[in-house]
Structure 1
Amino acid sequence: MGNRRGVANSLGSLGNAYYRLGDYKKAIDYHQQHLAISKEIGNRQGVANSLGNLGNAYHSLGNYKKAIDYHQQYLAISKEIGNRRGVAVSLNNLGLALQKSGKLVAAENHLRQAITTYEDIRKLLLNKDTWKVSIFEQQARTYRLLQQVLIARKQPQQALVISEQGRTRALVEILYRTRHNKPKQELIPPTLTLTQIQQVANKEKATLVEYFVTLNEIYIWVISPQGKIKFRSVSLPKDISIQQLVKITREKQLNVRGRNSNNPPGKKDSSTNRLKQLHQLLIKPIADLLPKDEQQKVIFIPHQELFLVPFVALQDEKDKYLIEKHTILTAPSIQALSLNPQNKQTAPILPRGKDVLIVGNPTMPKTKVGKKLEPLKQLDGAEEEAKIIAKMLGTKAIIGSQATEPAIVKKMSSAKLIHFATHGLLDGINAIGSPGAITFTPFGKDDGFLTTSEIMEKFGLSSEQKLQADLVVLSACDTGRGDIRGEGVIGLSRAFMASGVPTLVVSLWKVSL
């Protein structure tokens, strides 16, 4: 057909396919052909793309000098044609190649420029939460790489600042708008300084423990209530990845069913105590920095798969659980913690009567969900749980057919304490179209599934009606889980935090019926 642009694009796609297969020399050959035709027809974006792909291929071959040369050309053209994303990507890739070449100062400079460019791009997205969560998937790798460069340069405290910048960016923006009473305006919060991070620990009267996972190491920062910052790094086992270790711990040690399985749990594996293995990796290196007073709070800020770790259940060499030594909480980031509603700290005296919303065992939707596509079963135990708690707090539990979705949503807005004992669902296996849902009784147009998206729309994002609850207990399956992204965990806990709730109690696995 004589379509030269089509020929060029297909050559570039072939180059990318061979790159994915690990055949870098063949990838280079196709990208060179793509480059030649793009130059011939004057396609500047095509030229830039082929130069970037060539840089990546030479990087994978260990030829960092050539990789740097191609990425610099990619950067120059991206600037020339005004492609901000291309500028950010080429700066990131240059930073990586420079790091591998041992040129750490230059690597840091390029990575900081990449972050600045990404920040400019984020500003164009206004208040679009889902867009910001999505775009941060690519941006997060620059923050991760910069941390590694700073650690290599023996600047762990600056690495902590970058670690914080690279977490929960979209959530922090929602909380920041709420703090300033401007839910519908585009406000970009300043990132925390080192001094402000220390002030958060002091204000919370807590020891903060922030983790960051690389391929070979775990970085750990411990910030005491007095503001002292200590850094430790731990080498990961060579025979098992942290992702595999967490997965095996959950499935074999804790008898937890996986996210993509509604089948009964398998047989427990008692041959290796994985909870002790995780304690060795995550707690023992910093045990001397944790408070001796078991009443003093320790707030863990996990990273990636560590969000699935039950820190309370980790065991030391004397078989003592971590919860026996410390008062444990988790948070998605220090900045998110700092933006918790100032006037809503969980009081020592729980609210009672009309200020309390207790729901147990709603009449379940008839919708078929799960791998076996079956309707949800009723939860007699959840009903009993709700009635007992309601009696303790001087109110009446809402159960059965009374627990309709619209009725509960209406009561949620004014309740000071919320306790839901029902089914919790995850997307993917349940086909609910949202990363997490709490189940109530269907009514009218409401299907009975209160999803994260609906919570965000009603009480989070640009909504002026925030939840008033000091404490929300989601006594259901998987309520602390969701999609683990660069932003953090996208699920029910994030939706409730964005809606103004400072403290939640959630679960990390399926609860046995």
Structure 2
Amino acid sequence: MNKNRNQAFASFRVLIATLVISVVSLSQLPGKFPAFLSITQVLAQTPEQLKMRKWSQKKKLANNLYWQGKEYYDNDHFKIALPLFEEAYKIYQETGELKSEVITINYLGDIYDVLGKYSQALKTFQRALVIYKEAGDNLGEAKTLNSLGGVYLNLGQYPRAFVFFQQSLEIYKKYGKFRQIDSLLNNVGVTYAYMNQYSQALTLYRKSLNITKRLGNRQGEGGVLSNMGKSFYYLGKHRRAMDLYWDSLIISQEFDDRFFKGLTFNNLGLLHTYRREYKEAEKFYQKSLEIYWESGNRIREAEVLRNLGWLLFKTGKLPEAEKTLLDAIKVMDSLRQGLNYADQVSLFKTQAEAYRTLQSVYIAQGQAAKALQISEQERAHVWVDLLSTKSSLKLVSQSSNAVDFPEQNLPQSLTSSINLPTIKKIQQIAQAQNATLVQYSIIYDPLKIKGGRIGQESELLIWVIKPTGEAAFRRVDLAPIWQQQNAYHSSLGYHFWTISTTTNLYKEALTRNWHRQDAITSIILLVGGIIGFALFGRRLVINLFIKPLQPLKRHWLFFWLFSSLVATVGGGGLFSWEFLSLMTDLSYSNHQSIFFAEQLEQSEQLQQLHQLLIQPIADLLPSDPNAHVIFIPPEPLLLVPFPALQDTSGQYLIEKHTLRIAPSIQLLDLTRQQRQHISGLNEEALIVGNPTMPIFTSEIGQPPEPLPSLPGTQQEAKAIAQLLDTTPLMGNQATKKMILQRMPKARIIHLATHGLWDDFQGLWSTLALAPTDDDSGLLTAAEIRKLPLNAELVVLSACDTGRGRITGEGVIGLSHSFISAGVPSVIVSLWSVPEAPTAELMTEFYRQRKHTQDLAQALRQAMLATLKENPNPIDWAGFTLIGESKAITAYQRAQKLDTEVDLNPNTPEVIEKLKNE
């Protein structure tokens, strides 16, 4: 109601302003007869004069609207200012007032940003940037770059925001604009703070504060103090944070700076919540909410509602907490409108805490079914929207409103705004998949701040839904893990990946440089020793780094030992992530263990994960090893290779179950529908191996370098192509253009090449293909999503294909893109997989696939076969099947051919094709 009234009021003001300008214009016409004589004179003017008068009146109207809008803007009445600026902007465009247009467009962009209309904000600022660049206005360009950085900051795309801020800062430094430099330093500091780099943030805040004081900008000083206080809060220096908050609040009240008043009230609420002074905290949250409600700042409103919801949950006010968190989710939902896929994903990651807290509320109320629905919605939000929008697939939540537990129906206010699967539909999905679904959710305690990291894993929630419809819920307390000396580093899955990747990188580099015995080799050995000693202790160093060196000359061994000792004692300052990034593209084919130094350490880690993730639900899993188990993990567990988890007897999980994963339960229903829509016309298999490698820039500012060749994938492609009766594309033949032409016609797509992810660019994972004169050879995830694919299976047998930027929607990488393009089944690797065992595993997979249409079972048998010859998990456990497991049979394709081209499936031609398969 208030929103409609404000919009009506703004429209009324536009109308009044138009009438005022018209009356003033008529009253200024010459003549003694104000009414009819003035009108007669106007009519007697030439068309050119009338046009000039009309334009003059429009300019006056636009200027009037602009100044009224600016007055409301300066007083934080953004909703009222918006239609005034929009109308002024239209007139300036019509009359060709470019200077006024670009000034107005910047105000419009700021308002769109504040009101959470991010898509419009980005378009508006991009338009302004074009105008400034064409006009050669560097300062205007800098202002717009700063504004674009602010939008991306709100969207959670911090690396991109950082780049825009830095570009703006460089321009302002060039012109010596200290007030703007002050603002940019503060913005860059905020970006560091959002990335949990609080010490770097404080360094920039202090620089900003010094400039602010020299300029006498007391109002700006208040904003910097509030930001500094928040960094000190997360560093655990709460008394210092409190002092800074109050200093900021005094200044904000002095200048009636409503934005920073609202921000500081929220920060004070957080601090009092941490101190368990809940009544004081609630008062500050309410004050902050009032400001953001009035100004229309939606993203800040959602943040405060989320914090307030958690406070209400902690104080046992569960109904109030539920309502508040649902309100926060509704606000956040409204912010996604019009955004592209990448922006939606990054924005949603900043908002996931409200979903997790709401799960805790429902669990506390004894409503595990509701908690499952919210858990599912948390991870499926962008996935389902993207797929259902792109295709004609029908969401499970839209097909029925019936549920098994009517007393646990979610509020209508929530279900009307977002698509939630009912419990009954989740059970139907399990039945349709003929699989046991296992969904995990990790709950965080935001008051646990350790080493500047916000929140600590406090509880693991597990739901198990059997094909029969039977559902169960289990909880695991994670507090004991943090009390152990050997607790996981930052998250459960990341620790697992770090160990495997670090050891893999070292051994790959060692193998490649074995014959060189030069300074490069010694540096690699030194870095490997430092990593091993720092992360895993001396036992790993001895077994993994010293034993393999025995074939080397003795003086190299002594050089490495001495260098490692000096580096370790001196602090290990030679560690370089850039150096490790370079090594990730190297190959390794050694059959000895590179996952851990000793089998004992390996088993301990695998058993810890098994005890945490599998043991609590082991009695609920099927006893038949051929029965499917589908894991739906949250983001910290996405890199866990479930097949390699070991029970106390040392048996791997893959030996007891047929496994696959999915980013969400709803996705399983959508991929099943995608499988049913696949055309029967496609018979081609597209096999790509070791294309001529393109050059690739891993970081901004770094020179591009060619990716290393993968000769092992060439043999893999040849062997698989022979099994599938086709010819592989390799070397210079495997160009991006050729592959894009053949992809829509392929039933099976197998790509054995480098798969890269570019976290700086956000979500654009990349496949390396052969370059041409007019093409880089890099096929991005964004391009893949747009392809009209009709394949039933894509296999990404490549380096790092699974590890896209991790978010709540699943592994956001190339697998996501292929599923979005219509592929129901994708097999990816979770880490850099050695070439030789990969070739063995993939060849065995296709051999097994000839005997079964169950892709998960074929992959399981291939893993078990590879396990016999290569017992180390790094060699066989990295591959995972995402999505559908049932392949389309030859007879089903023949039936589709019958439907599509009026072919009789019993004709000799079709029968012969079936025999060949």
Quickly say closer, same or farther: Cα 1:256–1:164, change in 2 above 3 A.
farther
Q: CA deviation at 1:509?
A: 0.9
Quickly say closer, same or farther: Cα 1:267–1:200, change in 2 above 3 A.
closer
- Match of residue 774 from structure 2: 445
Q: Does 1:485 align with 2:830?
A: no
SS in 1 for 2:225: helix
1:324-374 alpha-carbon deviations (Å, 9 max, x no partner)? 221111000011222215151699xxx999521111111122557699975
Q: Distance in 2 between matches of 1:398 and 1:221?
A: 44
Aligned AA (2:828): V
Q: CA deviation at 1:103?
A: 2.2
Of 248, 256, 268, which residue of structure 2 is paired with 1:54? 268
Q: Distance in 1 between matches of 2:336 and 2:761?
A: 29
The structure with more strand, counted as a fraction of residues:
1
Q: CA deviation at 1:257?
A: 4.4
Of 488, 493, 502, which residue of structure 2 is paired with 1:241? 488
- Match of residue 133 from structure 1: 345
Quickly say closer, same or farther: Cα 1:377–1:35, change in 2 above 3 A.
closer
Q: Does 1:177 align with 2:406?
A: no
Q: CA deviation at 1:278?
A: 1.1
Cα contact 2:754–2:801 (8 A) shared by 1: no
Among all aligned residue pairs of Structure 1 and Structure 2, give the percentage whose two residues are the same amino acid.
Answer: 43
Aligned AA (1:363): T
1:23-56 alpha-carbon deviations (Å, 9 max, x no partner)? 2222222222322332232332222112111111
Q: CA deviation at 1:284?
A: 1.4
Of 637, 641, 653, which residue of structure 2 is paired with 1:322? 653
Of 468, 474, 484, which residue of structure 1 is paired with 2:790? 468
SS in 1 for 2:351: helix
Q: RMSD of the alignment, in Å?
A: 2.9
Q: Which runs of 5+ in 2 are unaligned?
A: 1-214, 395-415, 444-456, 507-576, 587-593, 836-917
Instruction: Give aligned pairs, total.
Output: 496
Of 221, 224, 230, which residue of structure 2 is paired with 1:7? 221
Q: Distance in 1 between matches of 2:273 and 2:780?
A: 43
Q: CA deviation at 1:211?
A: 0.6
Quickly say closer, same or farther: Cα 1:20–1:288, change in 2 above 3 A.
closer
The structure with more helix, counted as a fraction of residues:
2
- Provide TM-score, normalisation by structure 1: 0.89
- Match of residue 462 from structure 1: none
1:443-485 alpha-carbon deviations (Å, 9 max, x no partner)? 13321221223323x33xxxxxx31111000011111111112
Q: Does 1:298 align with 2:545?
A: no
Identify which range, 258-267 or 69-78, moves more after superposition. Answer: 258-267
SS in 2 for 1:394: coil
Aligned AA (1:490): I
Q: Does 1:143 align with 2:355?
A: yes
Of 376, 379, 382, which residue of structure 1 is paired with 2:707? 376
Cα contact 2:393–2:670 (8 A) shared by 1: no
Aligned AA (2:375): S
Counterparts of residues 356-367 of structure 1 (less than 5 Å):
356-367=685-696
Q: Which has the higher contact order (CA 8 A, sep 6+)?
A: 1
Of 374, 391, 400, which residue of structure 2 is paired with 1:162? 374
1:139-168 alpha-carbon deviations (Å, 9 max, x no partner)? 111101111222222221111000011113
- Match of residue 207 from structure 1: 436
Aligned AA (2:463): W
Aligned AA (1:447): S
SS in 1 for 2:236: coil
Q: Does 1:494 align with 2:816?
A: yes
Cα contact 2:430–2:436 (8 A) shared by 1: yes
Identify which range, 239-248 or 48-57, moves more after superposition. Answer: 239-248
SS in 2 for 1:192: coil
CA radius of gyration, larger in = 2
- Match of residue 471 from structure 2: 229
Q: Which runs of 5+ in 1 are unaligned?
A: 460-465
Q: CA deviation at 1:383?
A: 1.3
Quickly say closer, same or farther: Cα 1:366–1:20, change in 2 above 3 A.
closer
SS in 1 for 2:694: coil
Q: CA deviation at 1:210?
A: 0.3
Quickly say closer, same or farther: Cα 1:343–1:144, change in 2 above 3 A.
closer
Q: Does 1:24 align with 2:346?
A: no
SS in 2 for 1:19: helix
Q: Distance in 1 between matches of 2:490 and 2:743?
A: 36
1:65-116 alpha-carbon deviations (Å, 9 max, x no partner)? 2111100111122112222222211111111112222322222221111111
Q: Does 1:107 align with 2:318?
A: no
SS in 2 for 1:342: helix
Q: CA deviation at 1:200?
A: 1.1
Cα contact 1:242–1:305 (8 A) shared by 2: no
Quickly say closer, same or farther: Cα 1:432–1:9, change in 2 above 3 A.
closer
Q: Distance in 2 between matches of 1:230 and 1:433?
A: 37
Identify which range, 147-156 or 297-306, moves more after superposition. Answer: 147-156
Quickly say closer, same or farther: Cα 1:345–1:318, change in 2 above 3 A.
farther
SS in 2 for 1:131: helix
1:410-437 alpha-carbon deviations (Å, 9 max, x no partner)? 2112211101111222335xx8885432
Q: Distance in 1 between matches of 2:276 and 2:611?
A: 34
Q: Distance in 2 between matches of 1:508 and 1:301?
A: 15
Q: CA deviation at 1:506?
A: 0.7
SS in 1 for 2:675: coil
Q: Does 1:270 align with 2:517?
A: no
